[in-house]
Amino acid sequence: MLFVKKAPAQKRTEFRAALKSGKLLRFPGAFSPLIAMLIERQGFEGVYVSGAALSADLGLPDIGLTTLPEVATRGGAIARATDLPALIDADTGFGEALNVARTIQMLEDAGLCGCHLEDQVNSKRCGHLDNKSLVTSQTMVEKIRAAVGARRDKNFLIMARTDARASEGLEGAMARAKSYVDAGADAIFPEALADEGEFEKFREAIKVPLLANMTEFGKSKLLTAKQLSDLGINIVIYPVTTLRLAMKAVEDGLAVLKKAGTQASLLKEMQTRAELYELLRYEDYTKFDKDVFNFKL
């Protein structure tokens, strides 16, 4: 909190500049502020706030059950914890064009650097599941225009996601993407492309920045950062990676605790108290209050 130096406007300006650099920007998913702090510590270029991870963390499936206040509040908490730019999943915009306009302004106020809106019908579903239903291209164009018209910071990135690959083919998805760019989208997120060849064709067709979703257990081949960079992709997200890692570790640890009756054998697998306090910068808070960190570990 006290040691994040960059205001949202500065992070947005720097994010825009980074998108023009030609370098691939890596955005692992953060489902909590603490994860965002660790992502920054590890040297990544940004933080992604996944709708799937957020809904799962609330104990809900990713079918559009989360609300705008929930998403904006959690996204804002994550964005405020890091000097990295945070990009958030805004699902279908939480309604029609007027709702989308409010969504953009709430996410701006929360300190996010950008969001993506998708062209699914609500209730939506994970982009790597079958039988997704889409709104018309014109309906999505209206939402994008509303989003662009509503933003107050010109550097807040408005990205359009198309889920059309499965139902309308690659050509249909590219046609939709072009219409979304014409409507004012700053970047395009082509969901669930199959492989390098499809990313290459999208790159040839679309002139604005492109995002690749390297989610595990999905429909897309897991490409390396170098492969994506060579293809000209601008951003790669790993939306649920940290949640999956954490949940597996917790599941395995609880099984040991139940069987052994003690967590003693798990200590080597844990982040220590000292490591947690160092990440949280406990000692630095003494600059503001000498009574905060007046103990020895």
- List, run by run, the mean pLDDT of 10-residue segments along the chain (297 residues): 88 98 97 98 98 96 94 98 98 96 98 97 70 90 98 98 94 97 98 94 97 94 97 98 98 98 97 94 80 68
115 lies in the same domain as 230 = yes
Token code pair at residue 263:
């967590």
C-alpha R_g of the chain: 20
Q: Is 12 a catalytic residue?
A: no
Verify that 224 and 252 share a domain, yes or no: no
Omega cis (within 30) before 133: no
User: What CATH number is attached to the domain comprising 173?
Assistant: 3.20.20.60
Confidence (pLDDT) at 258: 98
Angle at 148 between CA 143 and CA 152, to 5 degrees: 135
Encoding tokens for residue 170?
Answer: 């690659």
Print the domain residue range for 27: 8-239
> Is 204 assigned a catalytic role?
no
Q: Let me know whether 17 and 142 are in one domain.
A: yes
Helix axes 33-41, 68-80, angle to 10 degrees: 40
Please indicate whether residue 48 is annotated as part of the active site: yes
Task: Return d(Cα 146, Cα 69) in angstroms, integer.
Answer: 19
At residue 203, the pLDDT reads: 97
**Is 292 contained in some domain?**
no
131 is catalytic: no
Is the Cα dihedral 138, 140, 144, 146 positive or negative?
positive
Catalytic pick from 16, 48, 163, 186?
48
| Statement to judge: residues 189 and 258 lie in one domain | no
Q: Is 43 left (phi over 0), alpha (psi -120 to 50) or beta?
A: left
Q: Are residues 210 and 257 in the same domain?
A: no
Q: Of the residues 12, 40, 45, 62, which is catalytic?
A: 62
Contact 143/117 with Cβ under 8 angstroms? yes
Residues 119 and 220 in one domain: yes
Global pTM value: 0.94
Shared domain for 281 and 215, answered yes or no, is no
CB atoms within 10 A of CB 278: 15
Identify whether 79 is part of a domain: yes
Tokens of residue 205, six digits: 């067709």
Q: 185 and 178 in contact (C-beta within 8 Å)? A: no
Query: Which of 26, 116, 125, 151 is an active site residue?
Result: 116
Told to judge if 96 belongs to the known catalytic residues of this protein, a careful annotator would answer no
Q: What angle do CA 206, 28, 236 make, to 5 degrees?
A: 15
Residue 213 among the catalytic residues: yes
Of the listed 115, 191, 198, 234, which one is catalytic? 191
Q: Which of 125, 126, 180, 238 is catalytic?
A: 126
Total number of domains in the chain: 2
The yes-or-no answer on residue 126 being catalytic is yes
Active-site residue flag, 128:
no
Q: Is 62 a catalytic residue?
A: yes
Residue 294 falls inside a structural domain: no
State the catalytic residue, choosing from 115, 213, 234, 238. Answer: 213
Task: Please check whether residue 2 lies inside any domain of the structure.
Answer: no
Q: 120 and 48, same structural domain?
A: yes
Residue of 108, 118, 119, 163 with catalytic role? 118
Q: Are residues 39 and 96 in the same domain?
A: yes
The pLDDT of residue 1 is 63
Specify the pLDDT at position 131: 62
- State yes or no: is 191 an active-site residue: yes
What value, to the nearest 5°, has the Cα angle with vertex 74 and ends 68 and 78? 140
Q: Considering the domain boundaries, does residue 43 fall inside one?
A: yes
